[in-house]
Structures are given as structure tokens and as C-alpha cells.
A = this chain, B = another copy of it.
Amino acid sequence: MADKVQIREVGMRDGLQSIADILPTETKLAWLDAEYAAGVRAIEVSSFVPPKLLPQLADAEAVVRHALTLPGLVVSALIPNSRGAERGLALGVHEMNFVLSVSDGHNRSNVRRGTDESIEDFRRVVELCREQGGPNRPRINCGLATAFGCTIEGDVDEDRVRRIANQVAEAGADGILLADTVGYGQPAAIGRVFRKIIADVAPLPVTAHFHDTRGLGLANVLAAFAAGCTAFDASLGGLGGCPYAPGATGNIVLEDTVFMFEAMGIATGIDIERLDAVRELVARALPDVTLYGAIAKAGLPRNFHPVARAA
């Protein structure tokens, strides 16, 4: 078992895109600064979609520019297509996350094309980045949405997930995300799929992106961790969801995920007590949005001993 994990904040992208309120740019920068101060070292800061489509993320450039000033922070952004990749290349983000759905029906409902066509799109994005990016080009990750079930198709075949993971690895992915986009995942399936895909694509990193819709979020994290996964997406207060997946509620809660690992003696590098201030900042700016989280409600237990942070 690993003795440390990386927990990436995705609330600034996955969270903010799913709520109507538009967070002012200065609040996003303050959020970035406060989480960075708490020790968070990987943040998906925005999405390079057309501003008309997601006005909540229209300030992607300003947010990325500020994030890139924070030393040691891995700055990532979602890209829907080659145009998004060009914006990321121009700005010099560290990582770009392309997303396609394992479920063909979900992919069609999202981007009006089949999964196979999206894999070809991904291949072209990788080629574009290799041609234009130079030696310090961004890492290009591929996220596999609906990897553990789909609101449209129901079951998603585990062999299909594995086959697609291998296809995008072969297409040149620098990393793979397995996403339980709609909160359909359960620990046994997650353990099986992560174990196989981690073995297949090694040494490519495989990140877990889970939602807590049905209460299994942290059990699923534990199952992925036991299967060898050490990189997890989460969002402050569980902000987020999938605008195209009815009933899908937020990402797993960043604070609770940090708590689980630190309580287990597994280093996250994050000072959980400093996340309170970040939460207050976001709560003040989004008064109508529910923030979730058990630790925020119950407080740290008296037997909690955080893992020492690296200097």
C-alpha cells in the first residue's frame, strides 16, 4: 500500500460548471491561494469550453494565469476538443484533461458522436499537442466518464472500459482518469477495474474521479486505493455534479477525503484544518449553494493525528 496520495481539487471546474451562480474571478483567485496555502498541489482550475456555453468559466485565462504563479502547483484544465487544447497550449497549463464517455449513449448525448469517434478526436488532440507543444508541452490525460455505470445505458461492461483505457493509452495519453460520473460505482467493480487498468497501462498514472451520489464515495476511494490508485479528484464541500446526468450530485468531498487518508496515516500533504477557511470563503461567495461534508459538521476526532507535511 502506498504511504501517500495526491488529492486534486476539481470544484473550480466540475463544481462551478454545475451551479448557476457565477463566482467572481477574484474569489476564484482567493480560493486558489487559500487551498495552495493549505497544501493542495493539484487543481483543475477551469475548462476551455466556449464562454457562451459555460459563462461560469468564462474567466479561464485569468484563473490559469494566476494559478501558474503558485510554485509547485500542478495546474490542469478540462478541454472538450482541439480548440480547447490550443488555448491550453498558448497559456502553458501543466495538464489538460480530455473527457469521453465509455457509454456510447452518454457520449452521444454529451457531444453528439460515438465513443469511437471521440477516441479519434483524442488522438488528434495528442498529435496537435506533440506538434505544437515543444519539449515542455502539457501532459494530456484522458478521462473515461461513465466508467462504472450510466444513467442512459445502465450497465457499462468492464471489459469495454479496459479496452478503451488501452486504446487511449495507445493513442498517447499521459494519464487516464476513471470517472464514476453519475455515482453508480460500487467498491467491488471499482477494485476490479482499477487493478486491471493500472496493470495494463503502467507506468501511466490512473486517477479516480468519483461522485458521492449514493453514499459510496469514500468506500469507492478506499477500494481504488487498495487496487493501487494514488490519485483522487475531489471538490471542496462536494461541489459539483454532471449537468447532463439527471440526479447526479456532487463530487466526493475534499475535506472528508483528506480526513480519511490522513486518519489512516497516509500523507496527503494537505493541512485539513486550513481547509476550513477555504470553505468559509466559498460559502460566503455562494450563499445559495449547499456545501456537503461530514468533517465540517462533526469536527476532527480527538484521536486524529495528521501525517507530517513535507517541508
Once the chains bind, are A302 and B222 in contact (CB under 8 Å)? no
Number of identical protomers: 2
Please give, as numbers and ranges, the residues of chain B lying within 8 Å of A186 by CB-CB distance.
260, 263-264
Tell me if A156 is interfacial: C-beta within 8 Å of chain B.
Answer: yes
- In the complex, what distance in Å separates the CA atom of A150 from the CA atom of B223? 27
Interface string of A128-161 (1 = CB under 8 A from B): 0000000000000000000011110111100000
Which of the residues B149, B218, B299 comes within 8 Å of A218, measured between beta carbons? B218
Closest to A263 in B: B186
A301, B182: Cβ atoms under 8 Å? Answer: yes
- Closest B-chain residue to A156, C-beta based? B303
Residues of B within 8 A of A249 (CB): 298
Contacts of A98 in B (CB 8 A): none
Q: Which residue of the partner chain B has the closest CB to A152?
A: B302
With A149-B301, A150-B302 known as contacts, the answer to whether A214 contacts B264 (CB < 8 A) is: no
Do A184 and B303 touch (CB < 8 A)?
Answer: yes
- The size of the chain A interface, using a CB distance under 8 A, is 44
Is A14's CB within 8 Å of the partner chain B? no
- Residue A253, interface by CB 8 Å: yes
Residue ID in chain B nearest A212 by CB atoms: B294
Q: Digitize A252-269: 1 where CB-to-B-CB distance is under 8 Å, 0 elsewhere.
A: 010010011001111000
Give residues of chain A (66-82) contacting chain B, Cβ–Cβ below 8 Å: none
- Interface residue A243 (Cβ < 8 Å from any Cβ of B): no
Is A247 engaged at the interface, CB distance under 8 Å to the other chain? yes
Shortest distance from the beta carbon of A238 to any chain B beta carbon, whole Å: 10
CB distance from A56 to the nearest CB of B (A): 24
Q: Does A237 contact B (CB under 8 A)?
A: no
Please tell me which one of the listed residues B156, B189, B222, B247 contacts residue A223 in the complex, with CB atoms under 8 A apart: B222
A226 within 8 Å of B (CB atoms): yes
Minimum CB–CB distance for A235 against chain B, Å = 14
The contact sample of 6 A-B pairs, CB cut-off 8 A, is: A149-B301, A186-B260, A187-B264, A215-B259, A216-B218, A222-B223
**Which A positions have Cβ atoms within 8 angstroms of B?**
148-151, 153-156, 182-184, 186-189, 212-216, 218-219, 221-223, 226, 247, 249, 253, 256, 259-260, 263-266, 293-295, 298-299, 301-303
Query: Closest 4 A-B residue pairs measured CB to CB?
Result: A215-B294, A149-B303, A154-B302, A186-B263
